[in-house]
Amino acid sequence: MGDIFYELKKKNVKKIKKVLKWAKENSKIIKVDVLDCSKSLRREKADKTFDEIFDLIDKKSVGFFVIILRKDVNVFGLFSDKFKKMDYLEIGIRSIDIGKKEYFIFIYLDKKKLEELRKVFEVSEVEDG
């Protein structure tokens, strides 16, 4: 079985920020990346903090908010220093632009947090096709 995608009902900037704050408080790992295509075509560790980028989330970013239950993924380099497959919850947003730079926030949580997330926020599984 592949990854499972979820959507936040009636999402807007305010609701997304609430979910991201909750995720930050419950996270295992938080990554803030930047893509500056004038220098590279790959994302790099950001030159700004989570809070700096969080404050810049706007209506444009709303369509790029994701909640994904990643299934059976090799987490070497993320959660483990060994080859290990596991499920985990990923909450992220992108398209936070400053000049020519695009910023990304990825928050990684234990998969057990999905149940809690669904109790706190109106989140439902995205149906295929």
* Each residue's pLDDT tens digit, 69-123: 999 988 767 777 778 888 999 999 998 898 999 999 999 999 999 999 999 999 9
Q: Report the percent of the chain where pLDDT is more than 90.
A: 77
Q: Closest Cα to residue 58, out of 119, 106, 103?
A: 103
> What pLDDT score was predicted for residue 81?
77
Predicted confidence band at 51 (pLDDT cuts at 50, 70, 90)?
Answer: very high
pTM of the model: 0.89
What separation, in Å, do the N-terminal and C-terminal C-alpha atoms of the chain show?
16
Mean pLDDT for 34-59 is: 93
